[in-house]
Amino acid sequence: MRRLASVRARVQTWRTLETRVRDALDLVDLAEAESDEATAADIQREIDEMEQQLDDLDFEMTLSGPYDSRNAIIAIHAGAGGTESQDWAEMLLRMFLRWAEKRGFPTEVVDLMPGEEAGIKSATVEVTGEHAYGYLKSERGVHRLVRLSPFDSENRRHTSFALVEVLPEAGDAAEVKIAPDDIRVDVFRAGGHGGQNVQKNSTAIRITHIPSGIVVTCQNERSQHRNRESAMRVLEARLIAIELQRHAEEQAKLKGEHVSAGWSNQIRSYVLHPYKMVKDHRTDEETSDAQSVLDGNLDPFIKAYLKSTVGAG
């Protein structure tokens, strides 16, 4: 029913635009017959609005993958480098949360492992919204930061790395078969900074998928049941992502291409010193307004990536 409602809404949008075009053509005929400059100005404004809407609809056509319409799960992992990389991972978490907030997409941090001194070692976030995965899949890969380190007493320049994974949330139907015997569930106490227990009860959940070796933890909710539900959603998403990666590798072999994954796939650099620039290495999209990007203005990079992939598959 959700798919049907989505398709109906999309069709209605195109039909409404078609009606606006017809009305504008009628106005053109009227303006030409009466040489009405005021009407001509109204027509131009209407044309500009329709062109913008058509451009937006054209971009939506890039979000046609089998999982693009779904919610997304983002997993962020700090790279080697201790506090510096952990701080960078937290900056990325804030960036994605700001992006989702600007779009009106609700978010929930389902798991977060703080760093010893600052930042985070890892975080897992659920992003809910139409085409959340379609947009955010452009962000998967290694993100590189170059800056003067606030943690270096000599104020030297440091390069930090963090890995971002983006997974499509599993659908309502059981797309992934997980047998009860294939998982091991461990219960433990949720911890805060420095290993401090933030709860006296054991509500945090760790699920190990034995066949694949995938381990998922969730400790954000106060309810053990809610944490288990969240952990299972992340596990299902990771299993779907494995299938997507396997399919991509098979397609690449047929085409004779190399598919890099994990830490070898550096997608974007954020340079804060000696100059300010954010550059995407896949599309060459760049901006000197690095702070705006870190505040969640990711749409130019997302759009450039999605447009570059049209027809590539």
In tens, the pLDDT along 157-180 reads 899 999 999 999 987 655 778 899
Q: Give bridge partners of residue 287 from the DSSP assignment.
A: 278
At the topology level of CATH, where does 180-251 sit? Double Stranded RNA Binding Domain (3.30.160)
Share of the chain above pLDDT 70, in %: 89
Q: What are phi and psi of 134, to 5 degrees?
A: -55, -40
What top-level class would CATH report for the domain 72-174+260-309? alpha beta
Given a cut of 70, whether residue 265 has pLDDT beyond it is yes
Given a cut of 50, whether residue 276 has pLDDT beyond it is yes
Residue ranges per structural domain of the chain = 2-60, 72-174+260-309, 180-251
Q: Helix, strand or coil for residue 297?
A: coil
Average of per-residue pLDDT across 261-288: 90
The model's pTM? 0.79
Which carries the bigger pLDDT value, residue 92 or residue 196?
A: 92
Query: What stretches of 149-307 adopt beta strand conformation (E)?
Result: 157-168, 183-188, 204-209, 214-218, 266-271, 277-280, 286-287
The arrangement of strands across the sheet holding 214-218 comes to: 183-188, 204-209, 214-218
**Greatest Cα pair distance in the chain:** 80
Which carries the bigger pLDDT value, residue 292 or residue 29?
A: 292
**Run of H or E residues at 40:** helix 37-60
Q: Which of 60-74, 132-146, 252-266 has the lowest mean pLDDT?
A: 252-266
Block residue for tokens 């053990």 = 224
- The pLDDT mean for the chain works out to 86
pLDDT for 170 equals 85
